[in-house]
Structure 1
Amino acid sequence: MQSFRTELENPIVEKDIIDLEKKIRAFREGKIHDEKFRSLRLARGVYGQRQPGVQMVRIKLPFGKVTFKQLLRIADISDEYGSSNLHLTTRQDIQIHYVSLDRTPQLWAELEQDEITLREACGNTVRNVTASATSGIDPLEPFDVSPYAHAVFEYFLRNPICQDMGRKFKISFSSSEADTSFSYIHDLGFIPKLKADGSRGFKVLLGGGLGAQPSLAHAVEEFLPEDELIPYIEAIIRVFDRNGERTNRNKARLKFLVQKIGLDELLNLAAIEKTANKFKFFNINRDVIAQPQPPLLIENALTAEELKNPLRYEQWLATNVFEQKQTDFYGVFVKVPVGDIPSNTARKLVAAISPYVADEIRITQNQGLMLKYARKASLPALYEALESIDLAAPGFDSVADVTTCPGTDTCNLGISNSMTLSKVLEDVIYNEYEQLIYNREIKIKISGCMNSCGQHGLAHIGFHGSSLKSGKAVLPSVQVLLGGGTVGNGVGRAADKVIKVPAKRATHVLRAVLDDYQANSIADENFHGYYDRFGKDYFYQLLKPLADLSTLTDDEFVDWGHVETFATAIGVGECAGVVIDLVATLLYETDEKLGWANEAYNESRWADAIYHSYNVMVSGAKALLLQKNINMSTQTGIIKEFDVNYVDTQEITLKSSFSELILQINQNEPSQEFATQYLAEATSFLDGIKAKREALV
């Protein structure tokens, strides 16, 4: 490993990468526990994959924005460090697979040369902030939400309040009431609102999530003024950090905290936390995300009449192109099969489109791309350029555009294949139901397991990987879900689990549902109306013959895309870090947190110093509780039990209860005076903890 001190201009980023390099070395030398190291690397976008000895690196691209230069940089990185492939995700990130752990610091350093980060792309952090791909050019939008999404990304990146939460935290911004960023499945989702006097604000949705137990978000604000956006998010995260579950990761999302304490109580706690916020109001720079320069007008451009396949062009024009709110310009969607772009194709893509569109690409929530500012006269030439690299398929975001996670190809949690199944289902649509490439209402989504990374929980027709047993043999299967999807303005539907069938019969499931829909839906009835009119049991009976295992063939014991007989092989998931219950490790971490507190204090970052000091006391208290084999699952539990087991028994002497000491954090403004006092108290507390620990051992 080498030093990156001379390569980067940003000292904060440089320090991050050097720290990762040191931690990898310490891990290799056995100085850091492997589970602690896992949480550390996850927060730096480095995720273990199904294949041993290699990593998936997730690149964090706020609201999916990437320039031509950045895309070329990522393609080069994938060639140098990975498998020469770029995988687009449903959270508008790009993933690179098969990366050596030891090379990740160098990889990160090279990405940062073009202002691309890995920081907090995984782990128990604020994940990538998503936004409608059309934001900024959407004819329906009240205003561009991109600057707001960017401000949220910047504010919470490296923010002490969200570096080691009990679980991940997801935020989205939709460009309009069409809710194309799915506010209803996020911890916090925002929909822009504009008052008659021009005041900007957001409708706020809270506590949504998919996973194995879907929960639809609650509407908690109809109009949150724009300057209260970041303080509001900060207060909610502070409550989640202190009160959220930390032991059982299956119950650790914000939606479970809402279920546990109630929505009203959570909002009351958030109101209390606002006192401690760094800002009471935060003005968003609306101009920070400027619209890119449109391309020059090309003389004598190719015309539609000169195209090799004018009928296919007309299909593409009808399904993949829309008029922007900017007069005389068009947005163009690019359908990317299973979200995979080989690095060489990415280079060809930039070369092909750069004469015809602006220098800004947006990754879409359904794993495609959106291009901006195409001129009408250039559309035939742009189509021909995309066609030359097999990226001009019509039917973007239609029934023929299936969303999928990587499944068993690379993910530890994958049960059955999703990538090949996605391609097979798309082939069924193109070959047997071509008219449905114009239908952008019905969505088909697939996940390799129940965790819904492919968003099957919000699909009209969804599948997730599973298994079935027939005699002594196990065969790949899919759980079929129906009836989910977006309604609008923050309202959504979670899909119903209907039936489980062998995976090789998923194509028959699709045909059965689509045939019935075409035969029995009534005029102007959407899929939701059709599904509700017949009801879940109707579809169970419709599909029940496909679940009959008495007619199995040998081929059905082999998963899609495989040649070997199916066997379940589920590893340990890494969607968030694992809790470490080692006293020595905790005290080591606590010392590190105290160092961060002092560093923030010396840089006059009072709010950060205060929160680091808070974490010093929580971590120190947890260490001593573990000494007595007491493991609390929340920070509030740690605070309470430390009083019961150490302060009330006078094993630790404090001037007040531990609760009164530590919870000064939400009763004081983040001033220099309070930061000075609180840091001194945290330092003294840690000294006491260490002394007690030494006495006990």
Structure 2
Amino acid sequence: MQSFRTEIENPIVEKDIIDLANKIELFKNGKVDEEKFRSLRLARGIYGQRQEGVQMIRIKLPYGKVLSKQLKRIADVSDEYSRGRLHITTRQDIQIHYVDIDRTPELWADLEKDNVTLREACGNTVRNVTASETAGIDVKEPFDVSPYADAVFEFFLRNPICQEMGRKFKVSFSASDEDTGLSYMHDLGFIAKIENGIRGFKVMLGGGLGSQPRHADVLYEFLPTDKIIPVMEGVLRIFDRHGERKSRAKARMKFLINDIGLEDFKVLVDEEQAAIENNTVPINVEDYPISVPVTVKAPKIELKNEDAFNNWKSTNLIPQKQEGYVAIGIKVLLGDFYSDKARLLADLVENYAAGELRLTLRQNIVIPFVKEDLVPFFYQELDKLGFAEVGYNKAVDITACPGTDTCNLGIASSTGIAEELERVLKTEYPHYLKNKDLVIKISGCMNACGQHNMANIGFQGMSVRTPDKLVAPALQVLLGGGNLGNGNGVYADKVVKVPSRRGPEALRRILNDFEANANGKQFLDYYLEQGEKYFYNLLTDLSNVTNLTQEDFIDWGTNEAYIKAIGIGECAGVVIDLIATLFLESDEKIDNAKEALGHKVYSNAIYFAYSSMVNSAKALLLSENISTNTQAGIISQFDAEFIESHKIDLGTSFSEVIYQIKTNAPTQAFATRYIENATVFLEKVRAFRTQEQSIVS
């Protein structure tokens, strides 16, 4: 093993980082299965990049809150391990690219010195908990959702119930009925409410984007705040047990809700509460750190261009409920900025605001707690940094994922077309600089990281083939999506597919028609009134691929001929015994269970033991060439193949043994007994596997 050492004070975090370093070495030596290693590194924020031999690192920043010292730390890490570029995502994370995987443990250790983590930023885990970027300052909020988002993040980080799910799980918190956290497109969405003087949330379940977007259902119209963690734990346990694991395309929560049905799923969640340690988890808001703005006298300045300042103020200031303060919105083109500017920005907010920033769902930055008399000074300083562009959260503020720049899954450029569309808006439609009702989003593929299918106008990267089989980059044009508030939204229609080079012309036609005929209506209302066919007829001639020019075969942002390719970027592992790897993992899970038992964390101990038994059963099924799917399916398949046939004797069914987890409260006595069950089960299946191998040999 590597002799890697950290200077981390938290022993749990230190162990995590050292484990990553050891697993990297084991993988390189062919002792860890490639799929298992991929799962492990993704759960630690390490994602294969389109370019071979380098990784994208995703930094998990709950609800987008970043302290000044944390931003400086991230800037330092980007300089040391990458190229100094920071990318804000649509889930309020920061990504850095072109990192050598061998250096990731050291990178992670450096981040943790200022309490910044990579843990569960990617992979089949609970992803970053997002929230309205105005949480805590929003003039319309009934209360600040930040402490609740923070509590959810802390509770489920490293929680064994959500480390190896069939697919990722996304959670959001909205500050008010405006639902700026976009609850309707999340696996779980929480909208702040007060009923009879009690704080709580409207809870949305089973939303999602991707190729088959689904509008979330209302799980609870009102759920008191002390119930959100137990309910979420119940949802995750059911998702872990019954969620699809064979087909990634069907493994999200939205498909499980469709299969089970909302009411039956709710019954399962309610039944699961008997096995959860605490049926209420009060969240102590008083312990949440309060933002304290500095007291400083406004420096005397002389603005060079009063008109430019006033124009910026009209689009980039955000009202704040705290008297005497405003927030400033910084428009960050495509979410990309650099470490030198990041440090200067961190110094600015530390010295003249409250020492914190919020990253936004539209890839921007918000500075809260700016004294009103400091606004001219902030404008001057932000202008020096190139952060004073007008149009924050307005139509010209286009969201786009990295697309073919770095992402494995990108089909066509999203950043290149986004820059061109912003240029078109600024030069040909300058009045849209102040239009907040039109939302444009772009994704490089169907996975919708750019959230294109919930935009008023969306573009999705694709390709088109000419009659003589030439391939050109293309864009699917989507229209009519939007957020209606209070958990309601509408997804955009796929209207027409056009070669990418015709994307700007498609936008011009849409806007020209809208301005000529909408008669004051908002775009979403106008689209719904006219309908998909109307816009199809407006744009369909642009889809003709029989008359493409040479330029049509060159994607935006590049000078090279287009080649449709899904990037590799993932290390090729050595072929090894997957069954042996699974048994070793079962050993590790039992060790983790015993460690948790020793620390009196009985719920974790029980779930580690449960995971070990599922893992062991899966190993034996795979050894018999029996494909596995859900955890519930593994359990029933094991009974059918090994227990009912009397190949293995447990004295009862495997279901009876393992499903004790559903009916027993997490006590010390049950945890101890359940770990013993898992240990005996592993011994029996391992002995059976050894016997079978000896017969074959």
Whether the TM-score (by the shorter chain) exceeds 0.5 is yes
CA apart distance, 1:40: 0.6
2:570 maps to 1:570? no
Find the counterpart in structure 2 of residue 669 from structure 1: 665
Give CA-to-partner distance per residue, 1:655-681, whole Å, 9 cap, x none: 221111111101010001111111111
Q: Hey, what's the Cα distance between the residues in 1 that align with 2:681 and 2:474?
A: 55
Q: 481, 484, 488: which is aligned to 2:481? A: 484
Find the counterpart in structure 2 of residue 606 from structure 1: 602
Name the aligned partner's letter for residue 207 of structure 2: G
Q: Hey, what's the Cα distance between the residues in 1 that align with 2:400 and 2:121?
A: 19
Give CA-to-partner distance per residue, 1:457-493, whole Å, 9 cap, x none: 1110000100001122100000000000100000011
2:392 maps to 1:396? yes
C-alpha contact (below 8 Å) 1:413/1:572 kept by paired residues: no
Name the aligned partner's letter for residue 233 of structure 1: M
Name the aligned partner's letter for residue 504 of structure 1: R
Q: 444, 448, 452: which is aligned to 1:448? A: 444
2:507 maps to 1:510? yes
Q: Hey, what's the Cα distance between the residues in 1 that align with 2:505 and 2:349?
A: 38
User: TM-score, with normalisation over the residues of structure 1?
Assistant: 0.97
Give CA-to-partner distance per residue, 1:176-214, whole Å, 9 cap, x none: 010111000100000010123x20000000000001110
Instruction: Give the 3 Å change call, closer, same or farther, for CA 696–130 of structure 1 in structure 2.
Output: same
Q: Secondary structure at the match of 1:220?
A: strand
Find the counterpart in structure 2 of residue 378 from structure 1: 374
Find the counterpart in structure 2 of residue 425 from structure 1: 421
C-alpha contact (below 8 Å) 1:87/1:339 kept by paired residues: yes
Find the counterpart in structure 2 of residue 86 from structure 1: 86
Find the counterpart in structure 2 of residue 678 from structure 1: 674
Q: Hey, what's the Cα distance between the residues in 1 that align with 2:292 and 2:3?
A: 38
Q: Hey, what's the Cα distance between the residues in 1 that align with 2:638 and 2:2?
A: 43
Name the aligned partner's letter for residue 515 of structure 2: Q
Q: Hey, what's the Cα distance between the residues in 1 that align with 2:300 and 2:278?
A: 53
CA apart distance, 1:289: 3.0
User: TM-score, with normalisation over the residues of structure 2?
Assistant: 0.97
Give CA-to-partner distance per residue, 1:484-529, whole Å, 9 cap, x none: 0100000011111000001011111111111111111123x22121
Q: Hey, what's the Cα distance between the residues in 2 that align with 1:282 and 1:249?
A: 33
2:12 maps to 1:12? yes
2:622 maps to 1:626? yes
Find the counterpart in structure 2 of residue 70 from structure 1: 70
Structure 1 runs of 4+ with >6 Å offset = none
Find the counterpart in structure 2 of residue 331 from structure 1: 327
2:517 maps to 1:520? yes
Q: Secondary structure at the match of 2:423?
A: helix
Find the counterpart in structure 2 of residue 113 from structure 1: 113
Q: Hey, what's the Cα distance between the residues in 1 that align with 2:305 and 2:532?
A: 43
Q: Secondary structure at the match of 1:550?
A: coil
**Aligned 1:295-306 pairs, distance under 5 A:** 295-302=294-301, 306=302
CA apart distance, 1:287: 2.7
Instruction: Give the 3 Å change call, closer, same or farther, for CA 223–268 of structure 1 in structure 2.
Output: same
Find the counterpart in structure 1 of residue 51 from structure 2: 51
Name the aligned partner's letter for residue 371 of structure 1: I
Q: Hey, what's the Cα distance between the residues in 2 that align with 1:695 and 1:599?
A: 31
Q: Hey, what's the Cα distance between the residues in 1 that align with 2:623 and 2:642?
A: 11
Matched positions, count: 688
Q: Hey, what's the Cα distance between the residues in 1 that align with 2:402 and 2:436?
A: 23
RMSD over aligned CA atoms reads: 1.5
Instruction: Give the 3 Å change call, closer, same or farther, for CA 555–288 of structure 1 in structure 2.
Output: farther
Give CA-to-partner distance per residue, 1:510-557, whole Å, 9 cap, x none: 11111111111123x221210011000000000112112233211110
Q: 463, 467, 471: which is aligned to 1:474? A: 471
CA apart distance, 1:352: 4.1
Find the counterpart in structure 1 of residue 307 from structure 2: 311
CA apart distance, 1:349: 2.1
C-alpha contact (below 8 Å) 1:7/1:109 kept by paired residues: yes
2:488 maps to 1:496? no
C-alpha contact (below 8 Å) 1:504/1:559 kept by paired residues: yes
C-alpha contact (below 8 Å) 2:33/2:578 kept by paired residues: no
Give CA-to-partner distance per residue, 1:247-295, whole Å, 9 cap, x none: 1011000000011111111111111111111211001021333332113
Name the aligned partner's letter for residue 600 of structure 2: S
Name the aligned partner's letter for residue 237 of structure 2: R
Find the counterpart in structure 1 of residue 205 from structure 2: 206
Q: Hey, what's the Cα distance between the residues in 2 that align with 1:168 and 1:354?
A: 35
My pick for the range that moved more, 427-436 or 364-373, is 427-436
Q: Hey, what's the Cα distance between the residues in 1 that align with 2:362 and 2:6?
A: 39
Q: 585, 591, 596: which is aligned to 1:595? A: 591
CA apart distance, 1:351: 3.4
Give CA-to-partner distance per residue, 1:388-414, whole Å, 9 cap, x none: 111111111111000010000000000
2:530 maps to 1:534? yes
C-alpha contact (below 8 Å) 1:136/1:143 kept by paired residues: yes
C-alpha contact (below 8 Å) 2:56/2:97 kept by paired residues: yes
Instruction: Give the 3 Å change call, closer, same or farther, for CA 609–354 of structure 1 in structure 2.
Output: closer
C-alpha contact (below 8 Å) 1:206/1:220 kept by paired residues: yes
Q: Hey, what's the Cα distance between the residues in 1 that align with 2:663 and 2:215?
A: 32
**Aligned 1:114-513 pairs, distance under 5 A:** 114-196=114-196, 198-302=197-301, 306-470=302-466, 471-513=468-510
Unaligned runs of 5+ in 1: 575-579
CA apart distance, 1:586: 1.4
My pick for the range that moved more, 584-593 or 53-62, is 584-593
C-alpha contact (below 8 Å) 1:185/1:210 kept by paired residues: yes
Q: Hey, what's the Cα distance between the residues in 2 that align with 1:646 and 1:4?
A: 43
Unaligned runs of 5+ in 2: 571-575
Give CA-to-partner distance per residue, 1:350-409, whole Å, 9 cap, x none: 234444322010000000000011111111111111111111111111110000100000
C-alpha contact (below 8 Å) 2:206/2:214 kept by paired residues: yes
Q: Secondary structure at the match of 2:652?
A: coil
C-alpha contact (below 8 Å) 2:124/2:169 kept by paired residues: yes
Instruction: Give the 3 Å change call, closer, same or farther, for CA 354–603 of structure 1 in structure 2.
Output: closer
Instruction: Give the 3 Å change call, closer, same or farther, for CA 260–571 of structure 1 in structure 2.
Output: farther
C-alpha contact (below 8 Å) 2:72/2:342 kept by paired residues: yes
Instruction: Give the 3 Å change call, closer, same or farther, for CA 299–537 of structure 1 in structure 2.
Output: closer
Instruction: Give the 3 Å change call, closer, same or farther, for CA 95–284 of structure 1 in structure 2.
Output: same
Q: Hey, what's the Cα distance between the residues in 1 that align with 2:249 and 2:427?
A: 41
Q: Hey, what's the Cα distance between the residues in 2 that align with 1:361 and 1:611?
A: 37
Q: Secondary structure at the match of 1:287?
A: helix
Q: Secondary structure at the match of 1:476?
A: strand
Find the counterpart in structure 1 of residue 613 from structure 2: 617
CA apart distance, 1:348: 2.5
Q: Hey, what's the Cα distance between the residues in 1 that align with 2:681 and 2:348?
A: 62
Give CA-to-partner distance per residue, 1:104-161, whole Å, 9 cap, x none: 0000000000000000000000000001010000000000000000000000000000
Find the counterpart in structure 1 of residue 573 from structure 2: none
Q: Hey, what's the Cα distance between the residues in 1 that align with 2:296 and 2:565?
A: 55
Identity %: 53
C-alpha contact (below 8 Å) 1:581/1:626 kept by paired residues: no
Give CA-to-partner distance per residue, 1:622-648, whole Å, 9 cap, x none: 111112211121011111111111111
CA apart distance, 1:301: 3.0
Q: Secondary structure at the match of 1:205?
A: strand
Q: Hey, what's the Cα distance between the residues in 2 that align with 1:559 and 1:299?
A: 48
Q: 579, 582, 607: which is aligned to 1:586? A: 582
